[in-house]
Structure formats: C-alpha cells, structure tokens
C-alpha cells in the first residue's frame, strides 16, 4: 500500500489578519485611556491602504488588486481626512471603468496572440507529419483526403481555441472574471501556471487533464467572488493564500495515492471577502 503524505500548506493569511486585528485593538485601547494619536489611523480608507500594502508586499508590488486598493485608499484618505480637493468626484467612476476596460482588453489580446501562435504551431506540425509521395498513382486522392482532414482538424482547433467549449491548450492560464463567470479546462501537458482574477465573479478551473514536471505557480486574486480549482489527487498542492475575511477550503478526497514530488503546484495570492475551494476527483 502506497504511503500518502498530506501536502504542505503555508497559509499565513490568518496570521496577517490576526496582526491587523491586534493593531486595531491596541489603537482602540489607547483611545480609551486617553493617549492621543491621529484619528485618521482608524478611518475606513486606512483599511484599503493596509490591504493594498499587504497584498503588494506579498506579491512584490506586481498585483493589480493591490495597486487598486492602494490607489483608492490614498485618494479617499487625502480627500476626506486632509481635505485635498482633486476635483475627481464626478470622474472617478468613469476613469475607473476605463482603466478596467483597458486592462481587460490588453489581457484578452495577449491571450488571443498566444492561442494563435499555438494554433499555427499545431498546424505546421500536422502539415509536416503528412507528406505526399508524388510517385504514388493515388496521390491525388490521398492529397484530397489529407486536405479534408486538415480542414476538419483546423476547424475543430479553432473552435477549441476560441474558448467556445471552455477548453484551453495553452501552457499558461490567464483568466479575468469580473462581474462574470468563467469555466475552463486545461489540457496542456506542459502546464506552467498562470494568473486568476475573480472580482465580483467566479472561476471554475479544471486541471485534471493537465500535466507538468517540477514546480509551477498559480497566482489567484479574489475579491467579493469565488474560485474553484479541480486538481489530480497525486499533485503536491501548497497553499500560500492571504485570506482576509474570506475562506480557503481544501476539500480534496485523500485516497491511497502517493504524492508525486515532481509535481508541485503552489497557489499564491489574496482572497478578500471571497472564497477559494480546492477539490480532486
């Protein structure tokens, strides 16, 4: 019988949230005993700033979610507590939507270029693997059959690559579910990780047909949304998610399967007022 060791987890979200609660309690205590400190330290914009700083530092200031939290936190803190008048009240929502739209368009265009490159590589590989012998008397018939086969395969590939079936052959995933829901199944045998962002939306990612060797990282940022990931039971899944007023649940069915040390999936990111669920078949 194979020995099974539970995958390691390095989830420090509860620790960080504990320090935040501790700091809040200390400030409230200082106020009760009459020790003066700036009132803006307990203002709601400071909550956004703290969240933005925690997320940004954890992800080396490469998190879009962390940047957004910092921006809004600093903006409202300067405006409401220090009376800075930026004159952006009437433009803040349109500008925010424009920035979000540019971000989504850029990501989708990048994903489209990657899919087109992979599709072209598959087409070239198929063309090279079906040479025709000009000396064969039935070469015309073989060529017609080959052309028809390539046409059908190409049409099927296009359908899959356009995301109609929810199937991805990309080695990396890049999914943004903002006020929407996304279901995706990855079939790559050289999976390299990627990035998931769910804001007021949900993502279902099926990795049961994917494969890789070594260690890959999957960046997950959830705010007022949910993400569910389905993985094979023999993967070593390590959770390093910072969860703030959120839930991260590992609901995998632990069978008598030995964990493969050459397949380590590291989940990193932030879950803020949302949920992350990990399952296996």
DSSP letters of 158-208? HHHHTTSSSEE--SSEEEEEESSEEEEEE--SS---EEEEEESSEEEEE-T
pLDDT tens for each residue of 106-116: 766 666 676 66
Predicted pLDDT at 115: 63
Is 5 inside any structural domain? no
> Which of residues 53, 72, 94 is at a domain's end?
94
Closest CA to 168 of 192, 150, 199: 192
Is 206 inside any structural domain? yes
Is 1 inside any structural domain? no
- Asked whether residue 195 falls in the same domain as residue 246, the answer is yes
Predicted pLDDT at 15: 61
- Asked whether residue 113 falls in the same domain as residue 158, the answer is yes
pLDDT tens for each residue of 245-267: 778 888 887 666 788 889 999 99
Tell me the C-alpha distance between 89 and 277, whole Å. Answer: 38
- Asked whether residue 69 falls in the same domain as residue 90, the answer is yes
Task: Give yes or no for a contact between 264 and 239, defined as CB atoms under 8 angstroms apart.
Answer: no
Predicted pLDDT at 76: 84
- Asked whether residue 159 falls in the same domain as residue 172, the answer is no
Residue numbers of the domain that contains 64: 13-94
Q: End-to-end distance of the chain based on CA atoms, in angstroms?
A: 20
- Asked whether residue 74 falls in the same domain as residue 152, the answer is no
Closest CA to 229 of 260, 254, 249, 206: 206
- Asked whether residue 272 falls in the same domain as residue 196, the answer is yes
Predicted pLDDT at 201: 85
Is 99 inside any structural domain? no
Predicted pLDDT at 68: 81
- Asked whether residue 74 falls in the same domain as residue 159, the answer is no
Is 140 inside any structural domain? no
Is 100 inside any structural domain? no
- Asked whether residue 154 falls in the same domain as residue 197, the answer is no
- Asked whether residue 85 falls in the same domain as residue 32, the answer is yes
| b/e map 193-211, b = 16+ CB within 10 Å | bbbbbbbebbbbbbbeebe
Is 2 inside any structural domain? no
- Asked whether residue 111 falls in the same domain as residue 55, the answer is no
Task: Give yes or no for a contact between 12 and 242, defined as CB atoms under 8 angstroms apart.
Answer: yes
- For the chain, the domain total comes to 3
240 DSSP β-pair partners: 268
Angle at 180 between CA 157 and CA 174, to 5 degrees: 50
Closest CA to 198 of 269, 102, 108, 94: 269
Tell me the C-alpha distance between 225 and 271, whole Å. Answer: 9
Is 6 inside any structural domain? no
Q: Mean pLDDT per 10-residue run, the chain (281 residues)?
A: 42 61 83 82 83 76 77 85 74 76 71 67 63 45 47 42 62 85 92 89 92 93 90 91 82 76 91 88 75
Tell me the C-alpha distance between 196 and 218, whole Å. Answer: 8
- Asked whether residue 115 falls in the same domain as residue 171, the answer is no
Task: Give yes or no for a contact between 191 and 217, defined as CB atoms under 8 angstroms apart.
Answer: no
Tell me the C-alpha distance between 183 and 196, whole Å. Answer: 12
- Asked whether residue 151 falls in the same domain as residue 174, the answer is no
Predicted pLDDT at 70: 86
């Amino acid at each position: 019988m194979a020995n099974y060791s539970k995958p390691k987890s390095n989830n420090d979200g509860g620790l960080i949230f504990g320090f935040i609660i501790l700091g809040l309690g200390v400030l409230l205590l200082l106020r009760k005993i009459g020790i003066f400190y700036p009132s803006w330290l307990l203002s709601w914009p400071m909550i956004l700033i703290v969240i933005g700083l925690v997320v940004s530092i954890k992800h080396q200031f490469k998190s879009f979610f962390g940047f957004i939290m910092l921006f809004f936190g600093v903006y409202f803190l300067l405006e409401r507590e220090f009376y800075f008048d930026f004159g952006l009240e009437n433009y803040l929502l349109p500008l925010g939507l424009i920035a979000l739209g540019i971000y989504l368009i850029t990501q989708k265009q990048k994903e489209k270029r990657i899919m087109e490159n992979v599709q072209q590589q598959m087409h070239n590989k198929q063309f090279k693997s079906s040479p025709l012998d000009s000396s064969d008397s039935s070469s015309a018939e073989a060529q017609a059959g080959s052309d028809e086969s390539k046409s059908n395969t190409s049409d099927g590939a296009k359908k899959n690559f356009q995301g109609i079936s929810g199937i991805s052959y990309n080695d990396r995933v890049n999914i943004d579910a903002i006020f929407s829901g996304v279901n995706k199944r990855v079939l790559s045998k050289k999976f390299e990780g990627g990035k998931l962002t769910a804001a007021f939306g949900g993502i279902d990612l099926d990795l049961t047909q994917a494969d890789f060797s070594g260690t890959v990282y999957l960046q997950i940022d959830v705010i007022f949304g949910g993400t569910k990931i389905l993985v094979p039971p023999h993967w070593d899944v390590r959770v390093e998610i910072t969860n703030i007023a959120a839930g991260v649940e590992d609901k995998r069915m632990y069978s008598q399967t030995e964990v493969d040390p050459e397949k380590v999936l590291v989940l990193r990111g932030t879950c803020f007022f949302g949920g992350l669920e990990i399952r296996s078949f």
